[in-house]
Amino acid sequence: MTESVYRIYAELEWKFGSGESAIMALAQVEQHVVASSNIKDVKDYCNSNNIDWITTMDLLAEAYNRRYLVNMEAIAQMLAWSRSRIKLELTPPAGDPEDTIVSIDRAGDFKKWMNR
């Protein structure tokens, strides 16, 4: 981690505790998204520092709707698929290969996520 992350963490820890402070410092420096059930603590700080945040329930709902949460490191290969879709080859492989096709509607957001 960078010195910036440690500095922000130290500034936040007295107010938010170690878990929220760590993720908010890392998200602020590296432009990640904060996922937390502790909305009371993270919402105002994230909003005032332009940090994207979601609740744990948002994350679970997204996983349920998409049927997969994919770690970037699990993507072995991305293939251009028909009609501007993206086919993901995962390691370990998905149960049904058709489940890992990124829809036309989500392909743009997916590419932005990959380029972070």
Residues 6+ apart with CB under 8 A from 29: 2, 4, 5, 8
pTM for the structure as a whole: 0.58
pLDDT at 116: 64
Domain boundaries, the chain: 3-61, 69-114
Which secondary structure element, helix H or strand E, spans residue 88, and what is its range? strand 85-90
The DSSP secondary-structure symbol of 63 reads: H
pLDDT at 66: 67
Question: For the chain, which residues score pLDDT lower than 70?
Answer: 66, 116
| Distance set, CA 19 to CA 37, 60, 65 (Å) | 11, 20, 27
SS (H, E, C) 21-32: HHHHHHHHHHCC
Show the tokens assigned to 86: 């993206």
Q: Which long-range contacts (CB under 8 A, 24 or more apart) does 32-38 make?
A: 32/116, 35/59
